[in-house]
Amino acid sequence: MTSAHTLPPRVTDEKRGRKLLGGIALPVGILALLIAGSVLSEQFLTARNLTNVLINMSIVGIIVVGMTFVFIVRGLADLSVPAMVAIGALLALGLQPALGSLPAAMFGVAAASCAGLINGLLIGYARLNPVITTLATGTIVLGVAQAAVGGVIVYGDSPGLQSFLTGRLLGVPVIVLIFLAVALGGHLLLSRTTFGRWVYATGANPDATKASAVPLRFTKGAAFWMTATLSGFSGVLLGLTLQTARPGVGTGYEFDAITAVVVGGVSLLGGFGNMPRALGGLLLVTLLSNIMVLNGIATESQGLVMGALIAAAVALDVYLRRRGGAS
Amino acid sequence: MEGITKAFPGVKALTDVDLTARAGEVHAIVGENGAGKSTLMKILAGVHTPDEGTITLDGEQVRFGSPLEAKQNGIGMVYQEINLVPDLSVAENIGLGNMPASGGMIRRKALHDRAREVLEELHTRIPPQELVGRLSVSQQQLVEIAKIYARQPRIVVLDEPTSSLSHHEAEALFAVVERMRNSGIAIIYISHRLREVLEISDRVTVLRDGRMIDCRSAQGLTPKEMISLMVGRDLDDVFPKQAVEIGEPVLEVRGLTRLGVFEDVSLTVRAGEIVGLAGLVGAGRTEVARAIFGLDRLDAGQILVGGEEIRVRSPRSAVRAGIAYVPEDRKRDGVALSLTVKDNIALPVLHRVSTLGWVLRRPERELAQQKAEDLHISPPVVDRPAATFSGGNQQKVVLAKWLATNPKVLILDEPTRGVDVGAKADIHTIIGELAAQGVAVLMISSELPEVLAVSDRVYVLHEGRLTAELSRDDADEESVMTAATGEGAAA
């Protein structure tokens, strides 16, 4: 009864804080970075550099779309991303001699998708801890993929696909178009479909959602399946653009994706956030790292900045939630 | 404790309550659910601070700002739930927070010796080196008491200590209580089991609606007298009751059993009928409802809706069969607070406002808006998060969600708990209207007057078993309380 009376004003506070964080802070931050970037480096505001930023965003961006679902469904995070990226890239290139370029690429996505299905079953249906589960499946998948393709570095031989992906359509790099299509699809799935509603509800209050006849286990599992499939797809694109892949090719993608989602203000505690926010977070993070690279900041220092950013964003999220009395 | 008054927003939990516990006596407190027993004890334990009144300990006025302060002043609390670490030994649990140590190392021998001493003083036969997790519930309860006893308290409060014990186990507990009393400790004993209260206590205080009704010597008191003291109140709430034609059985439950929780529960609810499920807290009312709705597993029994047997493995199958459940714990099982009212209401019926998984926003909004208006949710703004609404309106959101599914059977678990008077009347009216439309309603409430006023028929549960089925004419506070306290056979 006490909470019934004290809750409304606190939640208003939370709303205000969240509006500040997501509604204004994100665009303001991006704008500030654009200004800072053009002041700090002459190369920054060139079409070539900004195109590079977009291309860099695209590979991670496809993973961010999946990771956003994982966050909102209160699945914590998917740490099998590097393995899924690697399996996608390794198979897409390594199987080319046997299957041909396109079937090999599809096989890469399918393999990641199957591994994602295992993630989904273990996390959604067997209710295992997502962090430990994805860490374990990731390690296993990577091992299997390495064994399957044999060598350490795999080279591709599909110049046609490579030039298509790195080429442009109506002036926009094809890979960016692919990312935008995935992002739009993810956005619509999350905001306009029954499944999207289930995702929010599951993250907001799993008990009440289960009691409302929602297939809770399916919803949670599907978020992980999607993330793995998209990561595999992303890996395939990466492999085809580079025409070379090694098992470590996906390293760091999980961290980049998580950073983007968290900085975008999507709650690690579930039930809150949306696709535009997550992608805004991605843009901010990508710009920041681009500026640091252009200004010759050492890799170690870049890590420091990114680490601090993610810690600050999570702390702010938890703080706002506590104030809101939701946890 | 003298003149204790405590108000929570919207409710006066205690009004001018006096309580005196003497050294070397067992003082029982009895009362209905919500009479104020727990609040009074939480004030003694330093969990709440009283708005008015004083607490005097050995002639000295005290004021506890925290549970720790109360503990340091010799107040020991044994709650219903067991508060032990299952992976530590009995001795370690008893010594927890007070370990004999030298140079940062625990002196195991001293720890065990002390635990053995305490356990022997209480004449229990629990080995100090055993892991607590391996003990039975009743043994754990005794360890809990031993833990309190080891701190040499002046007052020990036992809150429903026997609720999960068999009679034989309870006897062992009484022996321990007796030994504590004989060592000069004042014991405050809260229980719903009236016979047991009479057996063990020296004096009995009866609370009702936050007031002290009487304090008597247990000598010569009968369970019947206690019941009439507990329930004898004026009905000042007026519940509307419509005359509705009662139809065929809609929900039939046969021999429902969940081992250790409830047993062989059979009940029937007909179309247009409102059936009350009464009983004391812990009697298994909520558990029966949860099992019918598929939230908890069943060990045996049949559930029939409209004459056809259904298998409920999850709420999904229950909802498909036409069952809706407004849960007891609104914040946990009822609303998703961070979602909007619209999203909450539409959640179980998304398939009706979508095609091929694509949500049609107009029909979705119209459905939510319609339900919000039907139920007088105020303000009727469906785009705001549920958290921004009052408790009463959140409860209406839960009701709206379930009404949107057009249920045949509506199970309401404490539908008006923590709800203000206006919303309460609204909810009663809605329940009446639903019954008039032919919905079969099963209602659980801890407020006896509410159950009696709303129900056509009342089932009473006592310790997981049905002890009475009373028609509207036969059901009154005494008959229900008699069955709820398990005094039915004796009366």
Instruction: Please judge whether A213 and B348 are an interchain contact, meaning their C-beta atoms are less than 8 angstroms apart.
Output: yes
Are A236 and A89 in contact by the 8 Å Cβ rule? The answer is yes
Mutate which: B337, B365, B397, B401, vs A, most A CBs within 10 A: B337
Q: Percent of chain A having pLDDT more than 90?
A: 66
Minimal CA–CA distance to B322: which of B264, B221, B213, B403?
Answer: B403
pLDDT of residue A277: 92
Burial B343-363 (b: 16+ CB within 10 A, else e): bbbbbbbbeebbeeeebeeee
Q: Would an 8 Å CB–CB cutoff place B415 in contact with chain A?
A: no
Q: How sure is the predictor about A151, in pLDDT bands with cuts at 50, 70 and 90?
A: low
A 97-136 residues with CB below 8 A of B? none
Least confident of B12-26, B104-118, B415-429: B415-429
Instruction: Please judge whether A194 and B350 are an interchain contact, meaning their C-beta atoms are less than 8 angstroms apart.
Output: yes
The phi-psi region of residue B100 (left if phi > 0; otherwise alpha if psi is between -120 and 50; otherwise beta) is: beta
Are A212 and B348 in contact by the 8 Å Cβ rule? The answer is yes
A 295-324 residues with CB below 8 A of B? 324
Q: What is the pLDDT of residues A210-226, one digit of tens each?
A: 999 999 999 999 999 99
Closest residue to B387, CB basis, from A11, A195, A196: A11
Closest residue to B336, CB basis, from A7, A205, A213: A205
- pLDDT > 70? residue A16: no
Mean pLDDT of B124-147: 86
Cα R_g (chain B), whole angstroms:
25
Q: How sure is the predictor about A146, in pLDDT bands with cuts at 50, 70 and 90?
A: confident
Instruction: Please judge whether B390 and A271 are an interchain contact, meaning their C-beta atoms are less than 8 angstroms apart.
Output: no
Query: What angle in degrees, to the nearest 10, is found between the helix axes of A174-192 and A47-72?
Result: 30
Instruction: Please judge whether B385 and A15 are an interchain contact, meaning their C-beta atoms are less than 8 angstroms apart.
Output: yes
Are A21 and A262 in contact by the 8 Å Cβ rule? The answer is no
Q: How sure is the predictor about B161, in pLDDT bands with cuts at 50, 70 and 90?
A: confident
pLDDT of residue A17: 52
- pLDDT > 50? residue A1: no
A208, closest residue in chain B (CA to CA): B333
Domains annotated on chain B, with CATH: 2-231 (3.40.50.300), 249-484 (3.40.50.300)
Q: How sure is the predictor about A21, in pLDDT bands with cuts at 50, 70 and 90?
A: low
Q: Give chain B's mean pLDDT.
A: 87
Q: How sure is the predictor about B239, in pLDDT bands with cuts at 50, 70 and 90?
A: low
Closest residue to A192, CB basis, from B293, B336, B358: B358
Shortest alpha-carbon distance between residue B348 and chain A (Å): 5
Mutate which: A2, A12, A73, A212, vs B, most B CBs within 10 A: A212
Q: Is the model more confident about A6 or about A115?
A: A115
Mean pLDDT of A110-133: 96
Q: What is the pLDDT of residues B13-68, one digit of tens each?
A: 788 888 888 888 999 998 877 678 888 888 888 888 888 888 888 888 888 888 88
Q: How far apart are CA A154 and CA A91, in angstroms?
A: 9
Which long-range contacts link A104-108 to residues 24+ away (Cβ below 8 Å)? A105/A161, A105/A236, A105/A240, A108/A232, A108/A235, A108/A236, A108/A239
Instruction: Please judge whether A1 and B418 are an interchain contact, meaning their C-beta atoms are less than 8 angstroms apart.
Output: yes
Q: Would an 8 Å CB–CB cutoff place B325 in contact with chain A?
A: yes
Mean pLDDT of B246-275: 93
Mean pLDDT of B472-482: 87
How many residues comprise chain B?
A: 491
Domain boundaries, chain A: 15-324
pLDDT of residue B290: 94
Q: How far apart are CA A149 and CA A153, in angstroms?
A: 9
pLDDT of residue B234: 46
Instruction: Please judge whether B348 and A195 are an interchain contact, meaning their C-beta atoms are less than 8 angstroms apart.
Output: no
Instruction: Please judge whether A1 and B387 are an interchain contact, meaning their C-beta atoms are less than 8 angstroms apart.
Output: no
Q: How far apart are CA B270 and CA B247, in angstroms?
A: 6
Closest residue to A213, CB basis, from B315, B332, B394: B315
- Half-sphere CA count of B222, side-chain side, radius 13 A: 7
Read off the tokens for B340. 């909007």
Closest residue to A5, CB basis, from B10, B354, B401: B10
ipTM for this prediction = 0.85
Helices and strands in chain A: count of H runs, count of E runs: 15, 4
Report how many Cβ contacts below 8 Å link chain A to chain B: 110
Angle at A89 between CA A88 and CA A91, to 5 degrees: 70
- pLDDT > 70? residue B376: yes
- Which CATH architecture is the domain A15-324 placed in? Orthogonal Bundle (1.10)
Instruction: Please judge whether A4 and B314 are an interchain contact, meaning their C-beta atoms are less than 8 angstroms apart.
Output: no
